A and B are shown apart, each in its own frame.
Chain A
């Protein structure tokens, strides 16, 4: 079964600095998709960035970028120029159109990010 592991329950970063959140996953599929979600105190689930496994180029969305290492099954999120509004829970998620999960998102347990002014 596919699993997603976020090994950092909490992280802290100084405003304007850079922080990297870790995520590893386990799968036997070769085609799949990976996502990072942000959940602020309002509890909404906001899609931050996404990556297709067959694309070697790392996805980038403004200050957010990923380091996708397919062989290592690693999908870390880098937040540059951190802002106070980045403080939230961050969830890594996996899905595959094949196999038992078929489109169901599998989430890690999350990393709580604090941003210090």
Chain B
């Protein structure tokens, strides 16, 4: 019974390169949430996706960042032309649906991807 799986665990990129972070939700979950944690801070919401749809991207920077959750395969968070300020831990959570009820809340996280920019 696998939980949320994220890879890679650690990713090192040079300034100007692209970073791709992957998140496989809990089996059967169709909603994915991405969060970013800067050093010494709590997690901040970035984007909420359903299969093939972006529901809420209000927390995602307008430039260089994009996210997708295709019909098949994991959700991808893509950061183009990375800068030092993108260094952070990126976490993913999933939920079975977006209705009420405690069990439908995206409360279980993957282990995160630690992105370091040289």
Chain A interface residues toward B at CB < 8 A? 31, 33, 35, 43-45, 47, 50, 52, 91, 93, 95, 97-98, 102-110
Contacts and interface: CB of A to CB of B under 8 A. Distances in A.
Interface in B102-118: 102, 104-109, 111-112, 114
A103 B101 CA distance: 10
A104 B94 CA distance: 11
Contact of B98 (A50, A91, A97, A108): A97
A44 B112 contact: yes
Contact of A105 (B89, B93, B98): B93
B109 A45 contact: yes
Given A31-B100, A43-B114, A44-B112, A103 B106 contact: yes
A43 B41 CA distance: 12
B111 A44 contact: yes
B48 A109 contact: no
17 contacts: A33-B102, A33-B105, A43-B111, A43-B112, A45-B43, A45-B91, A45-B112, A95-B105, A95-B106, A97-B100, A97-B104, A102-B55, A103-B48, A104-B59, A105-B45, A106-B45, A107-B43
A108 B91 contact: no
B69 interface: no
A97 B45 CA distance: 15
A103 B42 contact: no
Given A45-B109, A97-B104, A109 B42 contact: yes
Interface in B27-69: 31, 33, 35, 41-45, 48, 55-56, 59
B24 interface: no
B101 to A, nearest CB: 8
Given A102-B55, A102-B98, A104-B56, 5 more contacts: A44-B112, A45-B112, A47-B109, A105-B33, A109-B42
A70 to B, nearest CB: 16
Contact of B43 (A44, A50, A52, A91): A91
Contacts of A97: 98-101, 104-105
B105 to A, nearest CB: 5
